[in-house]
Chains A and B, each alone.
Chain A
């Protein structure tokens, strides 16, 4: 099988991830940070190890600024629901995944003012439009780093500058980028970074987290659940300190250990070199698809920054049918439709049918890309029934 659905979940995983998941419960299956015995301490150490590696990977101020969550959606919900109050303004874009758009819609119903800026047909935010949309009650700018539909990368540093200037915070959805390209939360000016563990970080599903930067006032950043944390048990109030404030309940130790194995793989191979490799595959894929008659690629133009996510539409074919034929007749796994991002598909002119999305990963080969291009060419040359 040729797996080109890495934007949804990366696959395969490094062998060390499988090995860790296979053995972890037998050796470190106890509850982390709740008891002093050796196995409990070992489980806590595994969680701490992952936190440390993630902090290094994104250049967080310290490991404690990394809060574990069950996925990027969970992290985005924590950030949005925990920070925004009725009357606050939040600026977002027309390229967002439902993981960001739906929590924003939900807080809008409670009185938060959500300002959505329209992106260019390539899917890029215009910083001047954002600057013009700022109101005195701006609390948050919440955007994706790279589109899960067409890979378009947003000008994060520009948005950080606007947020900083207005004493607001910047929340970034790093679902398509953390682990797949170098990221430095401090130099980029990111205050909150939501990330999944199962995509670029090569970990298992059910893992992820939220980076919470020092600009965030924890007293006004409300946890979405409270409970046991293993610290300050004598107090009936939720502790204030990171990361415990946002991590009540027994954490997903096995998943987090698997995630650490994924991050170790990234350390060994270098995120920069993985990024270069994926960029080269992406360019190859886009060039190949663009050369096919009847295929329209929906990505930003060559040379523009983009993640390894390529969307296209085939004349006369519905994306769902193309996806089924790719799976069925060519053994190629991809995703079709709106990609849980209807606004983004509208923005790039691919609504309501959506697109065929091919997303290479760090284990994808050039031969696989060429096979995918040939398969799409064969479909495009076949009259749709």
Chain B
């Protein structure tokens, strides 16, 4: 598998056309594949045609992203783009459905592994895997032309960036987040339903929230949220707007609960969808990384000044690695990892054992939370 920036699906066609009564022309496509879903009156042949002509962007291909991409590729989304910055690791296999032990052994980038696997599942659609860190410099280009965006991100910083882009260009997106046995999802149609910032005005400060790497996560919770996200994408694409989720939907798989938290009304003073101030996109002061001269280390400086409770962070990290601390810093070595994170009270961290800023950012998001 090449480690180049872009891994394209093997099918050269752009958007494949279905047969007979469908609007487009490529005669070879076998619609039998989609028969069980086209029987549904809410989809039908017309809906399937829309799915096959749609472009969907999946940002983040961890547990949520691989689960939703799996469903969407099988459902016949005509052009599926998958963006991710990480490599497949052993601890991913417990819940990330597109990867296997070979990917771990060969250290395959998730975007590449996912694209290859999905292309084998459905070679009638275009699958594009893009290995990159999503940031203010590339997000508009990546989102350009997408009919829907699916959130499979592991950090809030990028999620707020995604919200800016989606609102700015009027692209619906489906938020999803999972931790432990608990998950949430919400469908955002810019201009028609509240955006992420209408509901959560500010991202939580870096290091303040648990992550899947510190609090854990079970596969069933991921699958549930991803399944809802994928269904929402299908509804958006076929145009069944009345069937969309209009709440902040929260599920807990362990305690078996499902809550529909009503969403607030569209907020005209929302900085993003009301005032159209795309601060995460325009005044991008994302978490900065500095390669430390000669240290085989990268410093990650989170967005904005923080005041981190190192004691609390240590309690979260203790179960998943070795921690030591003094009154100035907290040192953390994840179990089974060659990396070491030294965290300081303003939220900055020195990630040792790498000179790759993308990897440093990823480790930061996983263990400290961005």
Contact = CB atoms under 8 A, between A and B. Distances in A.
B331 A385 contact: yes
Interface in A340-355: 340, 342, 345, 352-354
A324 B344 contact: yes
Contact of A328 (B292, B294, B330, B348): B348
B342 A321 contact: yes
Interface stretch (B111-119, B233-241, B321-329): B321-329
A324 B299 contact: yes
A383 B326 contact: yes
Contacts of B297: 320
Interface stretch (A109-117, A199-207, A331-339): A331-339
A372 B223 CA distance: 54
Contacts of B344: 324-325, 328
A169 interface: no
Nearest to B332: A385
B331 A354 contact: no
**Interface SS of B by simple majority:** loop
B329 A321 contact: yes
A328 B299 contact: no
A160 interface: no
A336 B344 CA distance: 16
B325 A340 contact: no
B345 interface: yes
Given A337-B294, A338-B294, A379-B328, A320 B348 contact: no
A354 B294 CA distance: 7
Contacts of A353: 294-295
Contact of A385 (B293, B294, B329, B346): B329
Size class of the B contact interface (CB-based, 8 Å): 20 to 34
A345 B329 CA distance: 26
Size class of the A contact interface (CB-based, 8 Å): 20 to 34
A382 interface: yes
Contact of B295 (A325, A340, A354): A354
Interface string B339-370: 00010111010100000000000000000000
A329 B342 contact: no
B350 A321 contact: yes
Contacts of B292: 320, 336-337
A384 interface: yes
Interface of A: 318-321, 324-325, 328-329, 335-340, 342, 345, 352-354, 379, 382-385
Given A321-B342, A328-B345, A385-B331, 19 more contacts: A319-B295, A320-B295, A321-B329, A321-B350, A324-B348, A328-B344, A328-B346, A328-B348, A329-B328, A336-B293, A339-B293, A345-B294, A352-B296, A353-B295, A354-B293, A354-B294, A383-B326, A385-B325, A385-B329
Interface of B: 292-297, 299, 324-331, 342, 344-346, 348, 350
16 contacts: A320-B292, A320-B297, A321-B342, A324-B329, A324-B344, A324-B350, A325-B329, A328-B345, A336-B293, A337-B292, A338-B294, A353-B294, A354-B293, A379-B328, A385-B324, A385-B330
